[in-house]
Protein backbone atom coordinates (compact mmCIF):
# COMPACT_ATOMS: atom_id res chain seq x y z
CA UNK A 1 0.00 0.00 0.00
CA UNK A 2 1.39 3.37 -1.05
CA UNK A 3 0.04 6.69 0.22
CA UNK A 4 0.98 10.26 -0.65
CA UNK A 5 0.17 13.16 1.67
CA UNK A 6 0.96 16.88 1.60
CA UNK A 7 2.21 18.50 4.80
CA UNK A 8 0.43 21.82 4.30
CA UNK A 9 2.50 24.87 5.20
CA UNK A 10 1.10 26.61 8.28
CA UNK A 11 0.62 30.36 8.50
CA UNK A 12 -0.14 32.52 11.50
CA UNK A 13 -2.32 35.20 9.94
CA UNK A 14 -2.18 36.90 13.34
CA UNK A 15 -0.14 36.10 16.43
CA UNK A 16 -0.75 37.89 19.72
CA UNK A 17 1.62 37.18 22.60
CA UNK A 18 -0.25 37.92 25.83
CA UNK A 19 2.18 37.00 28.61
CA UNK A 20 5.11 34.85 29.63
CA UNK A 21 3.88 31.95 31.74
CA UNK A 22 5.43 30.55 34.89
CA UNK A 23 6.27 27.31 33.05
CA UNK A 24 8.47 29.23 30.61
CA UNK A 25 6.03 29.09 27.71
CA UNK A 26 4.06 32.04 26.36
CA UNK A 27 0.31 32.56 26.41
CA UNK A 28 -0.75 33.02 22.78
CA UNK A 29 -3.74 33.85 20.65
CA UNK A 30 -3.28 33.02 16.98
CA UNK A 31 -5.21 32.59 13.76
CA UNK A 32 -3.96 29.45 12.03
CA UNK A 33 -4.31 29.10 8.27
CA UNK A 34 -2.85 26.58 5.84
CA UNK A 35 -1.50 26.86 2.31
CA UNK A 36 -2.45 24.30 -0.35
CA UNK A 37 1.21 23.24 -0.74
CA UNK A 38 4.12 22.11 1.41
CA UNK A 39 6.31 19.12 2.06
CA UNK A 40 5.37 15.80 0.44
CA UNK A 41 5.28 12.47 2.29
CA UNK A 42 5.17 9.11 0.50
CA UNK A 43 4.42 6.13 2.77
CA UNK A 44 4.69 2.41 2.04
CA UNK A 45 4.04 -0.65 4.18
CA UNK A 46 7.23 -2.02 5.71
CA UNK A 47 8.37 -4.52 8.31
CA UNK A 48 9.60 -1.68 10.49
CA UNK A 49 9.44 2.10 10.50
CA UNK A 50 11.93 3.91 8.30
CA UNK A 51 12.28 7.58 7.35
CA UNK A 52 14.33 8.97 4.48
CA UNK A 53 14.58 12.62 3.51
CA UNK A 54 14.97 14.26 0.10
CA UNK A 55 14.30 17.68 -1.40
CA UNK A 56 15.88 21.12 -1.41
CA UNK A 57 15.85 21.61 2.36
CA UNK A 58 16.68 18.04 3.38
CA UNK A 59 20.26 18.91 4.44
CA UNK A 60 18.93 21.28 7.10
CA UNK A 61 17.18 18.46 8.96
CA UNK A 62 20.25 16.46 9.96
CA UNK A 63 19.52 12.91 11.15
CA UNK A 64 16.09 11.60 10.08
CA UNK A 65 15.78 9.70 13.37
CA UNK A 66 15.28 12.87 15.39
CA UNK A 67 12.83 14.69 13.13
CA UNK A 68 9.13 14.97 13.79
CA UNK A 69 8.18 12.38 11.17
CA UNK A 70 10.07 9.71 13.11
CA UNK A 71 8.71 10.96 16.42
CA UNK A 72 5.14 11.00 15.10
CA UNK A 73 5.49 7.40 13.92
CA UNK A 74 6.73 6.45 17.36
CA UNK A 75 3.78 8.18 19.00
CA UNK A 76 1.10 6.14 17.22
CA UNK A 77 0.39 2.42 17.77
CA UNK A 78 0.10 0.39 14.55
CA UNK A 79 0.07 -3.29 13.55
CA UNK A 80 2.72 -2.79 10.84
CA UNK A 81 5.62 -0.55 9.95
CA UNK A 82 5.72 2.41 7.59
CA UNK A 83 8.57 3.50 5.34
CA UNK A 84 8.18 7.24 4.72
CA UNK A 85 10.06 9.41 2.26
CA UNK A 86 9.86 13.08 3.23
CA UNK A 87 10.37 15.52 0.37
CA UNK A 88 11.39 18.67 2.22
CA UNK A 89 10.14 21.58 0.08
CA UNK A 90 9.59 24.12 2.87
CA UNK A 91 12.45 25.99 4.59
CA UNK A 92 13.41 24.88 8.09
CA UNK A 93 13.10 27.29 11.05
CA UNK A 94 10.95 29.54 8.89
CA UNK A 95 7.74 30.20 10.84
CA UNK A 96 5.77 27.78 8.63
CA UNK A 97 5.43 24.93 11.11
CA UNK A 98 7.32 22.64 8.75
CA UNK A 99 8.12 19.91 11.27
CA UNK A 100 4.69 20.16 12.86
CA UNK A 101 3.04 20.00 9.44
CA UNK A 102 5.09 16.89 8.66
CA UNK A 103 3.94 15.30 11.92
CA UNK A 104 0.34 16.24 11.16
CA UNK A 105 0.65 14.54 7.78
CA UNK A 106 1.89 11.35 9.49
CA UNK A 107 -1.20 11.39 11.73
CA UNK A 108 -3.41 11.63 8.62
CA UNK A 109 -1.52 8.78 6.92
CA UNK A 110 -1.98 6.55 9.96
CA UNK A 111 -5.63 7.60 10.31
CA UNK A 112 -6.32 6.54 6.73
CA UNK A 113 -4.76 3.10 7.33
CA UNK A 114 -5.74 2.23 10.86
CA UNK A 115 -7.60 5.11 12.48
CA UNK A 116 -6.21 7.12 15.38
CA UNK A 117 -6.42 6.39 19.12
CA UNK A 118 -8.95 8.45 21.07
CA UNK A 119 -6.17 10.31 22.83
CA UNK A 120 -4.50 11.42 19.60
CA UNK A 121 -4.70 15.16 20.49
CA UNK A 122 -2.65 14.52 23.64
CA UNK A 123 -0.15 12.48 21.65
CA UNK A 124 0.06 15.27 19.06
CA UNK A 125 0.63 18.09 21.53
CA UNK A 126 3.54 16.20 23.09
CA UNK A 127 5.28 16.56 19.72
CA UNK A 128 4.66 20.33 19.54
CA UNK A 129 2.05 22.89 20.51
CA UNK A 130 0.91 23.47 16.92
CA UNK A 131 0.85 19.81 15.86
CA UNK A 132 -2.87 19.33 16.78
CA UNK A 133 -3.80 22.19 14.43
CA UNK A 134 -1.61 20.69 11.70
CA UNK A 135 -3.33 17.29 11.90
CA UNK A 136 -6.53 18.68 10.40
CA UNK A 137 -4.75 21.57 8.61
CA UNK A 138 -7.92 23.66 8.60
CA UNK A 139 -8.24 27.28 9.76
CA UNK A 140 -8.81 27.69 13.48
CA UNK A 141 -8.03 29.87 16.49
CA UNK A 142 -5.28 28.65 18.80
CA UNK A 143 -4.97 29.74 22.41
CA UNK A 144 -2.81 28.82 25.38
CA UNK A 145 0.45 27.60 23.87
CA UNK A 146 -1.44 27.25 20.59
CA UNK A 147 -2.92 23.81 21.30
CA UNK A 148 -6.35 24.95 22.59
CA UNK A 149 -8.27 25.09 19.31
CA UNK A 150 -11.60 26.62 18.41
CA UNK A 151 -13.29 27.00 15.00
CA UNK A 152 -13.35 30.15 12.90
CA UNK A 153 -15.60 31.01 9.95
CA UNK A 154 -13.45 30.53 6.87
CA UNK A 155 -14.19 33.30 4.38
CA UNK A 156 -10.64 33.19 2.95
CA UNK A 157 -10.66 29.72 1.37
CA UNK A 158 -8.96 29.91 -2.03
CA UNK A 159 -7.40 33.32 -1.35
CA UNK A 160 -4.18 33.79 -3.35
CA UNK A 161 -1.14 33.93 -1.09
CA UNK A 162 2.56 34.55 -1.66
CA UNK A 163 5.16 33.32 0.83
CA UNK A 164 8.66 34.82 0.83
CA UNK A 165 11.65 33.82 2.94
CA UNK A 166 15.11 35.48 2.76
CA UNK A 167 16.74 32.06 3.32
CA UNK A 168 17.74 33.06 6.82
CA UNK A 169 16.76 30.58 9.57
CA UNK A 170 15.33 31.97 12.80
CA UNK A 171 15.20 29.96 16.02
CA UNK A 172 11.76 30.22 17.65
CA UNK A 173 13.23 30.28 21.16
CA UNK A 174 15.53 33.20 20.32
CA UNK A 175 12.67 35.27 18.87
CA UNK A 176 10.40 34.66 21.86
CA UNK A 177 13.26 35.50 24.22
CA UNK A 178 13.59 38.88 22.49
CA UNK A 179 9.85 39.72 22.74
CA UNK A 180 9.42 42.97 24.67
CA UNK A 181 6.89 41.52 27.14
CA UNK A 182 4.14 44.03 26.33
CA UNK A 183 0.57 42.66 26.13
CA UNK A 184 -1.03 44.63 23.30
CA UNK A 185 -4.45 43.06 23.60
CA UNK A 186 -6.59 40.18 22.49
CA UNK A 187 -7.21 38.75 19.06
CA UNK A 188 -10.29 40.38 17.48
CA UNK A 189 -13.47 38.38 16.90
CA UNK A 190 -15.18 37.65 13.59
CA UNK A 191 -14.56 35.72 10.40
CA UNK A 192 -11.06 35.00 9.19
CA UNK A 193 -10.69 38.16 7.12
CA UNK A 194 -11.80 40.34 10.05
CA UNK A 195 -9.48 38.61 12.51
CA UNK A 196 -6.54 38.78 10.08
CA UNK A 197 -7.08 42.47 9.26
CA UNK A 198 -7.52 43.46 12.90
CA UNK A 199 -4.69 41.32 14.19
CA UNK A 200 -0.93 41.66 14.27
CA UNK A 201 2.23 39.63 14.84
CA UNK A 202 3.80 40.65 18.12
CA UNK A 203 7.04 38.87 17.23
CA UNK A 204 7.86 40.93 14.13
CA UNK A 205 10.07 43.51 15.92
CA UNK A 206 12.04 40.77 17.70
CA UNK A 207 12.51 38.81 14.48
CA UNK A 208 13.68 41.90 12.59
CA UNK A 209 16.19 42.70 15.33
CA UNK A 210 17.65 39.21 15.00
CA UNK A 211 17.29 38.96 11.23
CA UNK A 212 17.14 42.39 9.49
CA UNK A 213 16.31 40.88 6.04
CA UNK A 214 12.79 40.21 7.40
CA UNK A 215 12.19 43.97 7.15
CA UNK A 216 13.32 43.91 3.51
CA UNK A 217 10.91 41.08 2.72
CA UNK A 218 8.02 42.91 4.39
CA UNK A 219 8.84 46.12 2.50
CA UNK A 220 8.92 44.27 -0.83
CA UNK A 221 5.55 42.62 -0.16
CA UNK A 222 4.00 45.92 0.98
CA UNK A 223 4.95 47.46 -2.36
CA UNK A 224 2.54 45.04 -4.10
CA UNK A 225 -1.27 45.04 -4.41
CA UNK A 226 -1.69 42.75 -1.38
CA UNK A 227 -4.44 43.58 1.12
CA UNK A 228 -2.51 42.01 4.00
CA UNK A 229 1.24 41.63 4.56
CA UNK A 230 2.67 40.09 7.73
CA UNK A 231 5.34 37.79 9.10
CA UNK A 232 4.25 34.25 9.96
CA UNK A 233 4.97 32.79 13.38
CA UNK A 234 8.47 33.58 14.62
CA UNK A 235 9.72 34.19 11.05
CA UNK A 236 11.57 34.63 8.88
CA UNK A 237 8.87 33.80 6.31
CA UNK A 238 6.45 36.61 5.46
CA UNK A 239 3.24 36.37 3.47
CA UNK A 240 0.97 38.55 1.38
CA UNK A 241 -2.73 37.91 0.73
CA UNK A 242 -4.35 39.03 -2.52
CA UNK A 243 -7.84 39.18 -3.95
CA UNK A 244 -6.74 38.10 -7.44
CA UNK A 245 -4.26 35.38 -8.53
CA UNK A 246 -2.95 37.71 -11.24
CA UNK A 247 -1.93 40.24 -8.56
CA UNK A 248 -0.11 37.49 -6.63
CA UNK A 249 1.69 36.26 -9.75
CA UNK A 250 2.73 39.77 -10.75
CA UNK A 251 4.10 40.35 -7.25
CA UNK A 252 6.00 37.06 -7.37
CA UNK A 253 7.58 37.90 -10.71
CA UNK A 254 8.61 41.36 -9.56
CA UNK A 255 10.12 40.18 -6.27
CA UNK A 256 11.90 37.24 -7.93
CA UNK A 257 13.52 39.61 -10.41
CA UNK A 258 14.69 41.96 -7.66
CA UNK A 259 15.71 39.26 -5.16
CA UNK A 260 16.53 36.04 -7.03
CA UNK A 261 18.06 34.42 -3.93
CA UNK A 262 14.88 34.60 -1.85
CA UNK A 263 12.66 31.51 -1.52
CA UNK A 264 9.06 31.95 -2.67
CA UNK A 265 5.88 29.93 -2.84
CA UNK A 266 2.74 31.07 -4.66
CA UNK A 267 -0.38 29.22 -3.58
CA UNK A 268 -3.83 29.59 -2.08
CA UNK A 269 -5.30 29.24 1.39
CA UNK A 270 -7.20 26.04 2.16
H or E stretch covering 208 = helix 204-210
Catalytic-role residue among 10, 39, 88, 102 = 10
Catalytic-role residue among 39, 102, 130, 202 = 130
What lies within 8 Å, CB to CB, of 159 at 6+ separation is 241, 242, 243, 268, 269
- Name residue 7's beta-bridge partners: 39
Please give the sequence-ordered ranges of beta strands (E in DSSP) within 47-134, or none if there are none: 50-54, 81-87
DSSP 117-168: -TTHHHHHHTT-TTHHHHHHT--EEEEETTTEEEE-----TT-EEEEEE-S-
Q: Find the angle CA(185)-CA(93)-CA(248) to the nearest 5 degrees.
A: 75
Query: How long a stretch of residues is the chain?
Result: 270
Q: Is 202 a catalytic residue?
A: no
- What is the set of active-site residues? 10, 130
Amino acid sequence: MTQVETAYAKLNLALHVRRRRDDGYHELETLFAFVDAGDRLTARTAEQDKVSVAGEFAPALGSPFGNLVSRALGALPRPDGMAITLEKNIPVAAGLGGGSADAGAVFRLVRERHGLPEDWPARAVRLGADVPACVESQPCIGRGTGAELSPVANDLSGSPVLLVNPREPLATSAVFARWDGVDRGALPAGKMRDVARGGRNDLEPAAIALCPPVADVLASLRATDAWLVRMSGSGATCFALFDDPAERDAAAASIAAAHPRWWMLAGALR
